[in-house]
Amino acid sequence: MTQGKEDQQFIDEHTVGWEKFRQRILEFPPSRAAAMTGLPTQAIIDLGKRLAETRPTSIRIGIGLQRHGGGGMAVRTISCIPGVTGDWRYPGGGVFYDTRGFFGLNWEALWRDDLRPRQTRALDMKRFGEILLQTNTPRVNALFVYASNPAASVPNQKKVLRGLARRDLFSVVIEHFLTDTARYADIILPATMQIEHRDLLIAYGHLYIAWNEPAVPPLGECLPTTEIFRRLGRELGLDEPALSDSDETMATQLLDSWHPSLEGITLEKLKIRGWMRLNYPGPFVPFERFFPTASSKLEFVSERMAQAGLDPVAGYTPTHEMSQRDTFLAREYPLVLITPANHYFLNSIFANIPRQQRRAGVPTLLIHPDDAEPRQIAGGDEVRVVNARGSFFAVADVSDCVRPGVVASSKGRWLCDSKQGASVNATVDDRDSDMGGGAVYHDNRVRVDKVE
């Protein structure tokens, strides 16, 4: 901005609150940003020059950036950068997260919120353990789990396991394998795999929609999850016609959309071709005319944020635990644990496959040499990662791949394959992030002890 490279025309025509945002930017010179992030000042200056001088510039927000106490504001502020440079006006410019929003499917046709009884509660899966342990009424007395393994994937793992272990909780799990969650089930219903059922497939990394036709018949008593729900509806005496819709009928309803991305795409064509590209004519500008805000402009200052009790000016929100440097929490648990994805698992999927387990190896903890040396930790040593919520065991990998003060251990391990039945989620808090009710897998203070 000090170079005068901002796109003033774009700012004047397509944004709100520039002067206040400009003042916010000036509060964070490169020297202050370097002190906060641990990055070299010159690296921050060089990146700023590239953003200022390169048109178009596209910023990819990785999946996981938002998983800390200030994650929502971080994403919001990054999304404002192309508003300053004007990159939102160019094909290929702006900010990119994933492609799910480009699939203009008629989701309302299947959600059918009108069929939901008024008193139906919506429960926060992030607080799954807390919800199961609540004693006030109405208490959760029955649990139906499908396409999920909360025992391995939800924060505050000890709470989750205590909740699942309730003797008065009736649990049904639809699964392919005996997962950590399925081990707590009263009834396990076998589900079909992808090659055994029909499905309409979208993506979060490309713009192609596909039809999945069964390649082989289901084994044994395995059923598609949709068929299980159809049969349950009949057994419960529910006469709503939508509950009996076939997989093809539901796919047709999804494709019956006004959205131009699906123009010319039908189930019949998908069955013949297998896949079709969404109807976007090559490079395009998603916010060429307006932004999805109350003002139809990019809002550097947002009244909606103010009404939600948040800072209306895009900027920086410190994480909850990482920012507590001088408190008892920081003294007792001086390191910050982040939990990136494992290269050989998909969340907790595939973590029980022997070939993938061999590739992934034992659970490891990346720790910087500056943090390993005072703890007398060498590469290959067993360590215990602990905080007030729980602990897990890993093998130390001493490396400068992480910065001092930060340790990292990948997510996705099954508890039945982990020492003392605990994984990284045993240490993660079940708090909300600052926006959107997200989880805080990367906002987590711990202590690392060498196991003698």
- In the chain, domain spans: 8-93+285-307, 108-277, 328-450
Residue 394 pLDDT: 98
Is residue 101 exposed (0-12), middle (13-18) or buried (19+ Cβ within 10 Å)?
Answer: exposed
Q: Write the DSSP string, 84-121.
A: HHTGGGSTT-EEE--SGGG----THHHH-GGGS-TT--
pLDDT at 2 over 80: no
Distances (CA, A) of 299 to 73, 293, 296, 312: 13, 8, 9, 9
Order of strands, sheet of 199-201, starting from the edge strand that comes earlier in the sequence: 199-201, 208-212, 275-277
**Rounded mean pLDDT, 227-252:** 96
Residue 393 pLDDT: 98
Intra-chain end-to-end CA distance of the chain, in Å: 53
CATH fit for domain 8-93+285-307, picks 3.30.565.10, 3.40.228.10, 3.30.465.10, 3.20.20.70: 3.40.228.10
Indicate the SS3 state at residue 376: coil
Residue 322 pLDDT: 60
Q: How confident is the model at residue 288 (pLDDT cuts 50, 70, 90)?
A: low
Name the CATH topology of 328-450. Answer: Barwin-like endoglucanases (2.40.40)
Q: How far apart are alpha carbons 175 and 160 in whole angstroms?
A: 19
Q: How far apart are alpha carbons 137 and 131 in whole angstroms?
A: 11
351-384 pLDDT, tens digit each = 999 999 999 999 999 999 999 999 999 999 999 9
pLDDT at 27 over 90: yes
pLDDT at 330 over 90: no
Residue 289 pLDDT: 73
The region, left, alpha or beta by phi > 0 then psi within -120 to 50, assigned to residue 443 is beta
pLDDT at 325 over 60: no
Tokens of 71: 């994650």
**Rounded mean pLDDT of the chain?**
93
pLDDT at 391 over 80: yes
pLDDT at 419 over 80: yes
More confident residue, 329 or 32: 32
Residue 338: CB atoms within 10 A of its CB come to: 21
Say what the pTM is.
Answer: 0.91
- Looking at domain 108-277, does it have CATH number 3.20.20.70? no
